[in-house]
Amino acid sequence: MINMAGKTTAEAVKKALEASKKLERKFNETVDVVINLKDIDLNNPKNRIEEEIILPHGRGKDAKVAIFAGGELAHKAKNVADTIIKPEELEDLSKDKKKMKKIANEHDFFVAEAPLMPTIGKTVGVVLGPRGKMPKPVPPTVDIEGLVKTLRKTVRLRSKGRKTFHTVAGAADMKPEDIAENLDAIIKRLEEKLERGKQNISSIYVKTTMGPAERVM
């Protein structure tokens, strides 16, 4: 993808990574995408962006997944999910908001057996809902291993009522070309969801966690 300055996405990513290396960080930084929209009324819920995008080359660091399940599905998820929350734990978690908030903040995605959804809504929905992390309802027969594997390389693109928002495109130790392909996938989905496509985008920047931003478009 060519940006407004005539650079490719890959060139913008490389510049952001090079700037980060000069800072000599002691940890593997996340590569973030910062999106700025224009000429769009985000007070109207139908204009808001709420998308999940499977990155072709993954996130660099896998997303963390928690599962609300009991019985057979909980057993199958034992060595697959990061955390399993059983039905009998929901009532206690609803009373311990601090603990539930910690769980919500530590996980990127939540999955739940479909029959548990009403109970989840009544108990911990007040914590998960505002964070955009209400669980995906699935049948007890779901291929939980395949689902979690997909979610681990998925990112959420969520504007809420803000014209400026961000998501993850990869990690600093990934190949620039792979990060660029991830970034292109994010931009493509964004353009498809905006009423006027590219014309609703004011600018897009790519940056590492602590590094300076490089304009993509």
pLDDT digits (tens, 9 = 90+) for 107-164: 999 999 999 999 999 999 999 999 999 999 999 899 999 999 999 999 999 999 999 9
4: confidence class by pLDDT, cuts 50, 70, 90: very low
Domain 9-60+154-215 and domain 65-151 have a common topology: no
pLDDT number for residue 184: 96
The rounded percent of the chain whose pLDDT value lies above 70 is 94
DSSP 25-74: -SS-PEEEEEEEE-S--TTSGGGS-EEEEE-TT--SSPPPEEEE--HHHH
Q: Which fold has domain 9-60+154-215?
A: Ribulose 1,5 Bisphosphate Carboxylase/Oxygenase (3.30.190)
pTM of the predicted structure, to 2 decimals: 0.88
Cα distances (angstroms) measured from residue 55 to each of 121, 163, 201 = 29, 23, 21
Topology of the domain covering 65-151: Rossmann fold (3.40.50)
* pLDDT higher than threshold 50 for residue 5: no
pLDDT confidence bin for 3, thresholds 50/70/90:
very low
Domain ranges of the chain: 9-60+154-215, 65-151
